[in-house]
């Protein structure tokens, strides 16, 4: 069984600058975070600078295609060639704003792995789906799209991020108990197919995580760290969140 390691990922969305790359990388490089895997996801043009700063870097999205007439899209191979190692797939903003279906997300996941990138598969329910008691059904369908396309073994070289849509950018965080319940559901679901893989799988929580709530969230048995949006744009907050992940896995 692969040992899990705490992980904190920062999704800058369409924010950031070269100055911010310097600030954030200084904060990370000047602290001791060897126990925690830290990865930042800046917009595409900032990827080379982030890599040059020595911080693990990923892309926020990737094309499911390899090449061709897809204006504005970026192939996984190019991202890998730059030296990035991760890519987010299925972020709720991609699903809702750009109408990416479970099948498209699964195709992006496949293309990322084919090029040697580790996909972080983002899953999560909307507020209405939670109110209707559909959380597990929605999350299961999002994960099954990948399993049905590639087999459960594909999850071995991936990370799952549970991000309830109602908690993203809203200041409404899931309680540690609410988040743990869904994380356990995800791990148990995968364990029913492949026990060792499920035990080794990193499952992150995302949705309004900040330096005040991260410690309790990360202390939950099945929460291995966080995917951080807004707070990853502030060097002090992000460093404090990374610090709170130490010793939690
Ligand atoms: C995100 O963008 O994945 C996210 C979790 O954002 P925030 O932390 O701002 O809610």
Q: Where are the domains of the chain?
A: 6-244
Per-residue pLDDT for the chain (249 aa), expressed as one digit of tens each? 567 999 999 999 999 999 999 999 999 999 999 899 999 999 999 999 999 999 999 999 999 999 999 999 999 999 999 999 999 999 999 999 999 999 999 999 999 999 999 999 999 999 999 999 999 999 999 999 999 999 999 999 999 999 999 999 998 999 999 999 999 999 999 999 999 999 999 999 999 999 999 999 999 999 999 999 999 999 999 999 999 999 999
Candidate list 91, 93, 100, 211, residue with the active-site label: 91
**Roughly what angle, to the nearest 10 degrees, separates helices 18-29 and 235-244?**
30
**213-248 pLDDT per residue, tens:** 999 999 999 999 999 999 999 999 999 999 999 999
**Separation of 169 CA from ligand 1 center, angstroms?**
5
180-209 in b/e form (b: 16+ CB < 10 A) is bebbbbbbebbeeebeebbeebbbbbbbbb
Answer yes or no: is the C-beta of 11 below 6 A from any ligand 1 atom: yes
CB burial class (10 A; 0-12, 13-18, 19+) of residue 78? middle
Residue 136 appears among annotated catalytic residues: no
Answer yes or no: is the C-beta of 207 below 6 A from any ligand 1 atom: yes
Answer yes or no: is the C-beta of 58 below 6 A from any ligand 1 atom: no
Q: How many CB atoms lie within 10 A of CB 72?
A: 5
Pocket test for ligand 1, best of 7, 11, 97 (most atoms within 8 A of CB): 11
What tokens were used for 56?
A: 């693990």
What tokens were used for 68?
A: 């061709």
Answer yes or no: is the C-beta of 229 below 6 A from any ligand 1 atom: yes
Candidate list 64, 93, 129, 163, residue with the active-site label: 163
Distance, in Å, from the CA atom of 150 to the CA atom of 153, rounded to the nearest integer, reads: 8
**Separation of 87 CA from ligand 1 center, angstroms?**
15
Residue 183 appears among annotated catalytic residues: no
User: Which one, of 67, 17, 75, 76, lies nearest residue 42 by Cα?
Assistant: 17
- Assign domain 6-244 one CATH number from 3.40.50.1360, 3.40.50.2300, 3.20.20.70, 3.90.1150.10: 3.20.20.70
CB burial class (10 A; 0-12, 13-18, 19+) of residue 104? middle
**Separation of 6 CA from ligand 1 center, angstroms?**
18
What tokens were used for 131?
A: 């109110």
CA distances 103 to 109, 112, 150, 162, 174, Å, are: 10, 14, 11, 18, 27
Phi-psi region of 26 (alpha: psi -120 to 50; beta: other; left: phi over 0): alpha
């Amino acid at each position: 069984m692969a040992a899990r390691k705490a992980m904190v990922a920062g999704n800058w969305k369409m924010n950031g600058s070269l100055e911010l790359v310097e600030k954030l990388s200084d904060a990370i490089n000047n602290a001791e975070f060897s126990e925690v895997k830290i990865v930042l996801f800046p917009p595409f043009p900032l990827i080379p600078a982030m890599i040059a700063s020595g911080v693990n870097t990923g892309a926020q999205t990737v094309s499911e295609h390899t090449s061709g007439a897809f204006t504005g899209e970026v192939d996984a191979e190019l991202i890998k060639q730059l030296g990035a190692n991760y890519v987010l797939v299925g972020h709720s903003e991609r699903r809702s704003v750009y109408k990416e279906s479970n099948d498209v997300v699964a195709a992006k996941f496949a293309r990322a792995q084919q090029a040697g990138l580790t996909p972080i598969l983002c899953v999560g329910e909307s507020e209405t789906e939670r109110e209707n008691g559909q959380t597990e059904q929605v999350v299961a369908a999002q994960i099954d799209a990948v399993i049905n396309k590639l087999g459960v073994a594909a999850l071995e070289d991936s990370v799952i991020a549970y991000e309830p849509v109602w908690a993203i950018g809203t200041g409404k965080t899931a309680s540690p108990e609410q988040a743990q319940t869904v994380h356990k559901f995800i791990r148990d679901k995968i364990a029913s197919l492949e026990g060792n893989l499920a035990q080794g799988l990193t499952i992150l929580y995302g949705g309004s995580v900040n330096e005040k709530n991260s410690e309790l969230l990360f202390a939950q048995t099945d929460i291995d760290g966080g995917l951080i949006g807004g707070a990853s744009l502030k060097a002090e907050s992000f460093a404090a969140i990374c610090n709170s992940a130490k010793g939690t896995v």
